[in-house]
Amino acid sequence: MTGCCCPGNVDEVSTSRCPASGSQGTAVDLLAVKALLTEGALRRLVPGDYRFCPDASCAVVYFSADGDRFTTADVRVPVWQKLPFGDRPICYCFGESEASIRSEVESNGASTAVERIRHHIDAERCACEVRNPRGACCLGDVIAAVKQVEASVTTTRVAP
């Protein structure tokens, strides 16, 4: 993703499947894993190559080829991909969430969250590679969330 805060495209680097769900995992930097694990989980960490499991129905967040697993209970923050639509955090650097986007859409008719995030990226303020559990830029997730929230607000307004 050009202009993104994160170097490279982490999503292209996939080498193994989640041992719990079988979902294709994406490489995540060990620094992100260390930064986001709870104290207890960090004590169990064996340095190595970790993957992020994107499967919403799977509690595993990080796994390694050596069999190490860390679940949502082992991570310091709620994981966007693991939560149901409605109030999920999306941007871990600047606090954008579905709830804040919904409030903005209901008040103003649209959200400028994407533009705000782009501004922060351009100003080199974001740290998605460490703060986002996926270890990658959140901009694509924010774009998708804005579309989904705007569609849900429009549907709610139209419903009798």
CATH number, domain of 36, equals 2.20.25.270
Q: Which of 18, 43, 76 is the last residue of a domain?
A: 76
Cite the beta strand spans of the chain per DSSP E: 26-28, 50-52, 60-64, 69-71
Say how many domains are in the chain. Answer: 2
Complete DSSP assignment for 94-107: T--BHHHHHHHHHH
Whether residues 109 and 68 share a domain: the answer is no
85 and 69, same structural domain?
Answer: no
pLDDT tens for each residue of the chain, 160 residues long: 444 555 444 433 335 899 999 999 999 999 999 999 999 999 999 999 999 999 999 999 999 988 999 999 999 999 999 999 988 999 999 999 999 999 999 999 999 999 999 999 999 999 999 999 999 999 999 999 999 999 998 776 655 5
Q: Is residue 86 part of a domain?
A: yes
2 within some domain: no
Residue in this structure with the two tokens 């495209």, named with its chain if needed: 9
Residues 43 and 114 in one domain: no
State the residue for tokens 């990226």: 121
Same domain assignment for residues 82 and 156: yes
69 SS3 class = strand
Q: What is the domain extent for residue 160?
A: 78-160
Same domain, 64 and 85: no
Q: Within this chain, do residues 44 and 108 fall inside the same structural domain, yes or no?
A: no
For the whole model, what pTM was predicted? 0.84
Q: How many CB atoms lie within 10 A of CB 143?
A: 15
- CATH of residue 156's domain is 1.10.10
